[in-house]
Amino acid sequence: MSVRHGLLALLAGEPAHGYGLKSDFERITGSAWPLNVGQVYTTLARLERDGLVTAGDAADDSSRTWRITRDGRAELAAWYGSPVDDRPARDELAIKVLVAIAAGSVDVTRILQAQRKATVERLQEWTRSKRQADPEHDLAFLLLLDALILKAEAEVKWLDLCEERLRRRKPRGRA
């Protein structure tokens, strides 16, 4: 529900056109998460269906101005006020590794190393970007990079841990 609530949050600031929301969203998220403009409109339609936003008819000037409703503000406040989902979302990488281990006949180490390589590469890109960012102006972008970097670091740590645990278990089949 990121896009949904993201747009709601933007509209809480001031009414806007669908097209503008796309730009705002991308500016705020430093273009790390591009948003297809079509998705803005589908999402707005769903928000309208749920009574969280309204828009004047486009009849007059072919551009609709979207506004958040009272219910919308309540929903937004609830979103802000409650921590992001309590139980862990399905993690594709973890599932991949776990089923690979369970399968037995798969070269798990190769998977781990390939993933590690890819993740470290992304990590370096982001670290590079971070050095070039201006802490005064690009605060949001910087925070975003921090998030990506910390996540990637955690992933690398986990991959290493997997290898270690596997090695520690594996001593069998060989002298």
Give the count of residues interacting with a copy of itself (CB under 8 A).
Answer: 69
Q: Which position among 14, 19, 71, 164 is part of the footprint of DNA (CB under 7 A)? A: 19
Binding flag, residue 73, a copy of itself (CB under 8 A): no
Q: Which of 57, 70, 102, 173 binds a copy of itself (CB under 8 A)?
A: 102
- Tell me which stretch binds a copy of itself (CB under 8 A): 37-45, 50-58, 64-72, 83-91: 83-91
Site for DNA in 40-99 (CB under 7 A): 41-46, 50, 55, 58, 62-65, 89-90
Report, in Å, the least distance between residue 76 CB and DNA.
14
Helical segments of the chain, H only? 2-13, 18-28, 37-49, 70-81, 92-103, 108-132, 139-169
> d(Cα 53, Cα 70) in Å, to the nearest integer?
9
Q: Is 114 in the site for a copy of itself (CB under 8 A)?
A: yes
Residues 139-158 that bind a copy of itself (CB under 8 A): 139-140, 142-144, 146-148, 150-151, 153-155, 157-158
Handedness of CA 89, 39, 32, 27 (dihedral sign): negative
| 148 contact, one of a copy of itself, DNA, none, CB 5-8 Å limit per kind | a copy of itself
Distance CA 103, CA 107 (A): 10
| Ranges within 106-165 binding DNA (CB under 7 A) | none
Choose the one of DNA, a copy of itself, none that binds residue 56, judging by a C-beta under 5 to 8 angstroms depending on kind. none
The reply on whether position 97 binds a copy of itself by CB under 8 A is yes
Q: Residue 175 has which token pair?
A: 């002298």
C-beta of 67: minimal distance to a copy of itself in Å? 15
What burial class does residue 133 get, using C-beta atoms within 10 Å of its C-beta: 0-12 exposed, 13-18 middle, 19+ buried? middle
- What is the rounded CA–CA span in Å between residue 39 and residue 139? 26
- Separation CA 119–CA 131 (nearest Å): 19
- CA pair distance 113, 66, nearest whole angstrom: 48
